[in-house]
Structure 1
Amino acid sequence: MEEETKLSIYKAARSIKQKENTLYNALRSIYEDSIFVGEISQLWPHLPLLANLRCGLWYSSKFHSTCYFKSTDGHTNNCSFNTSRLNLHVAHLAGQKGGCIIVDSTRRGKRFPDSMSKTIPIWTCVMNRAIRNYRKKFHDIDTSTKGDSNGYDQHNEITGGVSVDWDCSLHLPLWVSKTEKASIEERVEEWTERLEASGADISSLAVCLKKPLRPLWISQKTVIWLNEVPDHDSWDFTPIILVSASSSIGICQHRTTSEFSWNYIPGAGDDEESWARGLSPSLFWDNVYDIINSGPDVCNQKVADIIEKNRVYRAYRGENAPQITVKSLTPSSLSHEEPSVSSEILNLNIDMNRIKSSGDDSAISWLGSTNVSVGASHQLNFFWETSHCIFCCWKSTSISVRLSDKAYLHLPIATSKFDRFSILNNLPSAVSFAKLNLSKGRRLLVCCSNGEDISVCVCLAILTSLFDEEGKFDDGKWFNERRMSKWEMRRRLVYICKFATNARPSRGNLRQVFNFLIAPLLFPTT
């Protein structure tokens, strides 16, 4: 009887939550919070506005760029510094512009997510220490080369013409306990050494940043005297202004306007798969007033119509063409018969006369001097003009690309959330395809649905398997002569992230790449 009572209470609570977390409630909450974000960004209009993926991306239509600081890296008693998410482009941008504003949100009734309370403060501290250590190497250069003007110029370039005195303190918000702060400080030096050993480009940061990085926190409860807002140039540090978009109320709050009643949801942009119904942040902001003014009763239908209209428009442009079934090649058919890769593929011819290049290269990232690039599938029409061969690795087979004398391979790879072995099982085919084409001097594009996860993991396997430490194609000689370690794989990932700044591979997918790399006999690349 007690179990039935508990079950009924659970059902009732879940039913109430579902009624509160409607699509309109979420989108209206995001819109209301975006007004606050806009007000804060106007206080420092010259500082770039960045969205912390994924939740933060919903709260403005005018983001300069994105970043990826995970809250899990700042969880209590489990803090870490992850070299898979270095966000070096954020430090560079802050150095160039004199600071930046990062937007995120949280659902848990807190003022700030853990990404802002601890992950980013840890990141700024580690970056500052690595820069200080790098500058120390050149601190005595002006005394040892007093008569050498070239040496003095080099010193000024590296140190930015400023003193090597550099704030490396760990700046945490007041609500983080002293005990936890002490625990984090004990590990900062270890994380700094890890960053320095990862191969990250610290030298460019030392030149770019004139002042040390330091976080500041702003929420909807922050009191700001508008006539006393300091100019960002007046601070003796480079500000990383952390804006928590949502109110910190713990439960949904009922709100009423002259037209509609709705429930405010704090951190509504989080976990978009559970409520967005296929709507993206960009599509939301393109139609924001139509959606908000539609009201709760017709919001779902309005969003469905917008999504369908956008799908048809993209299909007309060739970005998402009508479904075409592409014959996918099994891993076994590619592992030992290299000619089958191209002969099967080149027999396919898909008309692309209606497709025009968008000219938008924002989603393509060439990895240094290699002939390998990573990108998103919606830019295939642009990629075609810059690549000799294309490898598509996403689950859907709804594609549209022109195939003539250029090699193309599609493998339906799923993320680890849906298939724990999908990447592992398909990597032999992917590496074989890459080896065949790269050995002929061709330029290779690896793309997935968003260019952030699966394609990055596939590129990681290709670069590690077929390139030496200097980034030169060696047909796998360097790889076959060494025993692979997680640290070496991380170094290669740091190299990729230097160019693909939106890369954010999941832990499960990276684990599959490592399992492939440590078992070359099970997964031969020739």
Structure 2
Amino acid sequence: MENYRDGKLSIYRAARSIKRRDNTVYNALQSIHEDSIFVGEISQLWPDLPLIANLRCGLWYSPKFHSTCYFKSTDGHTNNWSFNTSRLNLHVALLSGQKGGCIIVDSTRKGKRFPDSMSKTIPIWTCVLNRAILNYRNKMLDSGLLMNREVADYSNCAEDVKLKNHIWDCSLHLPLWVPDTEKAAIEERIEKWTNQLEASGADIACISSCLKKPLRPLWISQKTVIWLNEVPDHNQWDFTPIILVSASSSSDVFRNKTTSEFSWNYIPGAGDDEESWARGLTPTHFWSHVHDLISSGPDLCNQKVADIVEKDRVYRAHRGEYAPPVTVKNLKMADDVADVSNVELPLASNMHSDDTTLQPSNDYCTTFWIGSTNLVVGTTKHAALMSNVDCILNCDKEPVSINLPDSEAHLHLPMVSSKLDRFSLFNNLPAAVNFAKLNLRKAHRLLVCCRSGEDISVCICLAILTSLFDDKGTFDDGRSFSETCITKLEMRRRLVFVCKFAITARPSRGNLKQVFGFLTGGSAASA
């Protein structure tokens, strides 16, 4: 590739220039809006199944989702396959069991019909869960805790489930475009991943009781042919369907389209990498102003987006929320947290555990809340939460105005992501745990909050839970911690327990490494 000194662009620079020209906000929003029509049509084929967005890209493709999930494409990349116990997404399995299945929405820009999150990550997840459930049920049969008449509820057979393993399908179901050699390589790892799930402390018993049929993925894209008069009812299948909808066209070429007023270029997977194009706009903003934005046209769209984002910023600032001005240059947009709800983390002396998992009893009391910093604002929506909070640990970079009767009941420890500071969390953990200890000794109810309520606050609560509570969920002032050598497995078990309640938790690997370094008395990079 050659750069010409006479001012001519190289092929690379010319391609980048064309991409920047076509990858405008208006092109992206028009593409998302068009693809959302397809998503809506698919969701209406099975209206009883909950619609779930795979974060972050999938969240753009419908105005209303029942829930969200977080299956990463990197966990399905060739030769990088993994089953990550930090992102178990068990709420998806529970919801699917309750509703008879679910529809997950995602997209990809890479010219493929489906992202790797759908081609491999989710199929691996369903297979591992199915095998863990079967192992659990066989174990219960051996111990006499599960009777054959109970087996009949989910196997349609009154014989021993061990003799009828085929009725609980544990096969690895991958789409046809995944090569056999890759499928074989993944199958070799399934047993190891199943063992990791069983050792993580995940509540397999709860999932087993909820699921009457094994999980199985199905794939639908814009190239899928569906005969509307032959769409089966989801209850007719002998499995619990996880319907994977890839929202956009698989073409990797920008296609020119024309409406009655404007021409625009279609972008496959336009919702991906929102920091590079959205200019501070969030999916919530988009769907609240979708008609104004689409009708504004290419020339006015940028200004319309800027007005919407600024108006929302001023509104939140007047309410006392953290609302920094948005700049396009080097934009680092935080996730929209306007609808983030507080997560109650029940931990008390009436918690109990068995040999596989920590579970709350039916009459527990709440010790922790995990949430975003905007939860502490005195709004009607969150007034009930704040009336139950005795102390607040704010882990956000910015302070917030908090009214508590005791000035010592509020601690602000500014922390940032591990991508910005590899030691931010590690350096602040001693003060955070000490603050929690002093307040928990007084039986105070604690709110731990960060900007999103998904990463830093989750890691802080993990450190508090491991440092100050025993493995039964009882506060013991750190006595059991001083007598125990914390391993990665034990920390993973505690994290799985936290994520059972904080289902939107997305702790980063860098922050978890800092927590492990703190718990083992090492450095932030010791994990």
Whether these two folds match at TM > 0.5 is: yes
1:470 aligns with 2:476: no
Counterparts of 1:62-141 in structure 2, within 5 Å, are 62-139=64-141
1:265 aligns with 2:267: yes
* Partner of residue 403, structure 1: 404
Shift of 1:302: 0.6
Contact 1:158 1:206 in 2 (8 A): no
Shift of 1:11: 3.0
Tell me whether 175-184 or 312-321 shows the greater mean CA deviation: 312-321
Change (3 A) 1:3 1:521: closer
Equivalent position to 1:280, from 274, 282, 285: 282
In the TM superposition, what whole-angstrom CA distance separates every residue of 1:55-90 from its partner, at most 9, and x where no partner exists? Answer: 101110110000010001000111010100111100
In structure 2, C-alpha distance between the alignment counterparts of 1:361 and 1:129, rounded to whole Å: 33
Superposition CA RMSD, Å: 2.5
Contact 1:72 1:114 in 2 (8 A): yes
In structure 1, C-alpha distance between the alignment counterparts of 2:84 and 2:152, rounded to whole Å: 26
In structure 1, C-alpha distance between the alignment counterparts of 2:257 and 2:147, rounded to whole Å: 64
Which AA in structure 1 matches 2:460? V
Equivalent position to 1:14, from 13, 16, 38: 16
* Partner of residue 196, structure 1: 198
Contact 1:135 1:158 in 2 (8 A): no
* Partner of residue 51, structure 1: 53
In structure 2, C-alpha distance between the alignment counterparts of 1:302 and 1:241, rounded to whole Å: 35
* Partner of residue 185, structure 1: 187
- Secondary structure of 1:167's counterpart equals coil
1:375 aligns with 2:377: no
Counterparts of 1:238-317 in structure 2, within 5 Å, are 238-317=240-319
* Partner of residue 224, structure 1: 226
In the TM superposition, what whole-angstrom CA distance separates every residue of 1:26-71 from its partner, at most 9, and x where no partner exists? Answer: 1111111101000000000000000001110111011000001000
* TM-score, scaled relative to structure 1: 0.86
* Partner of residue 342, structure 2: 363
In structure 2, C-alpha distance between the alignment counterparts of 1:507 and 1:465, rounded to whole Å: 20
In structure 2, C-alpha distance between the alignment counterparts of 1:322 and 1:29, rounded to whole Å: 29
- Secondary structure of 1:215's counterpart equals strand
> What percentage of residue pairs aligned between the two structures are identical?
69
Which AA in structure 2 matches 1:295? G
In the TM superposition, what whole-angstrom CA distance separates every residue of 1:448-475 from its partner, at most 9, and x where no partner exists? Answer: 1111111111111111111111111111
Contact 2:155 2:168 in 1 (8 A): no
Which AA in structure 2 matches 1:377? T
Shift of 1:152: 4.8
Shift of 1:301: 0.9
* Partner of residue 25, structure 1: 27
Shift of 1:368: 4.4
Equivalent position to 1:393, from 376, 392, 395: 395
In structure 1, C-alpha distance between the alignment counterparts of 2:83 and 2:153, rounded to whole Å: 25
- Secondary structure of 2:311's counterpart equals helix
* TM-score, scaled relative to structure 2: 0.86
- Secondary structure of 1:84's counterpart equals coil
Contiguous gaps of at least 5 residues in structure 1: 146-150, 324-358
- Secondary structure of 1:423's counterpart equals helix
Which AA in structure 1 matches 2:430? P
In structure 2, C-alpha distance between the alignment counterparts of 1:159 and 1:506, rounded to whole Å: 40
In the TM superposition, what whole-angstrom CA distance separates every residue of 1:318-351 from its partner, at most 9, and x where no partner exists? Answer: 444899xxxxxxxxxxxxxxxxxxxxxxxxxxxx
Change (3 A) 1:35 1:368: farther
Instruction: Provide the aligned length of Structure 1 versus Structure 2.
Output: 480
* Partner of residue 456, structure 1: 458
Which AA in structure 2 matches 1:171? H
Tell me whether 376-385 or 216-225 shows the greater mean CA deviation: 376-385
In the TM superposition, what whole-angstrom CA distance separates every residue of 1:202-226 from its partner, at most 9, and x where no partner exists? Answer: 0011110000000000001000001
Which AA in structure 1 matches 2:490? E
Shift of 1:360: 7.9
Contiguous gaps of at least 5 residues in structure 2: 162-166, 326-337, 349-365
In structure 1, C-alpha distance between the alignment counterparts of 2:121 and 2:147, rounded to whole Å: 37
Change (3 A) 1:313 1:2: closer
* Partner of residue 511, structure 1: 513
Shift of 1:159: 5.8
In structure 2, C-alpha distance between the alignment counterparts of 1:158 and 1:518, rounded to whole Å: 47
